[in-house]
Amino acid sequence: MYTNKKVNYVWVYVITVITFFIALILGYISLVFMEKVSIIGALFILLFIVFLGVIFDLFGISVTAATETPFHSMSSGKVRGAQEAILIIRNAGAVANFFNDVIGDISGIISGSASAAIIIKLNENMTLKTTAASIILTSIIAGITVGGKAIGKEVALRNANHIVYRMGIILSYIKKRKKR
């Protein structure tokens, strides 16, 4: 359905700049760690990056699937996190964009460069065919990522309100700490 709402170019600009800096920082940190650890350590860093993408994808799906109604009665009963859950749901587009696209896509891109760093490490330490190792590692990471996101989507869709409620609780604690 077509709506007359205009594109929020300020949001597009802000999220583009935020994405650039998050990718810059996370990319730098992950590659610095990759250089300093063993191949096994680098694999754990790679799996952590993939897991991060899967978890944030789950959060983004939850936000878009959650319904606001149950949080209104919780909010009237002064349940911690209910107001924040409503705020999250009302901003589902921006929140899902951040979780799915910013963090999720950055994780995917950084996992690719982390895989390349591992291949370089393998090539330095062993007489292994780089092409074969690269294809195998890329395929494993792709399988883990897609499989993890498939499971995450099922969990998110079945537990959307509960996940958003937990996010609301965390946000309420963050807001409380900022007030101090």
Q: Is residue 94 within 8 Å of residue 7, measured between CB atoms? A: no
To 10 degrees, what angle do helices 105-125 and 130-158 make?
A: 150
Q: What is the mean pLDDT of residues 100-106?
A: 90
Q: Convert the pLDDT of each residue in 47-97 to its tens digit.
A: 999 999 999 999 999 999 999 999 998 988 889 999 999 999 999 999 999
Q: Is residue 26 within 8 Å of residue 110, measured between CB atoms? A: yes
Tokens of 121: 């490490």
Provide CB contacts within 8 A for 138, sequence distance 6+. Answer: 112, 115
Q: Convert the pLDDT of each residue in 122-157 to its tens digit.
A: 877 666 667 777 888 889 999 999 999 999 999 999
Q: Convert the pLDDT of each residue in 90-102 to its tens digit.
A: 999 999 999 998 9
Q: Helices in the chain by DSSP H: which ranges?
A: 9-36, 39-65, 69-76, 82-90, 92-96, 105-125, 130-158, 160-179
Q: CA–CA separation, 134 vs 112, rounded Å?
A: 10
What residues does each domain of the chain span? 9-179
CB-count exposure of residue 133 (10 Å: 0-12, 13-18, 19+) = middle
pTM of the model: 0.83
The pLDDT assigned to 2 comes to 53
Which of 3-7, 45-49, 159-163 is most confident?
159-163
Q: What is the mean pLDDT of residues 1-28?
A: 81
Provide CB contacts within 8 A for 166, sequence distance 6+. Answer: 81
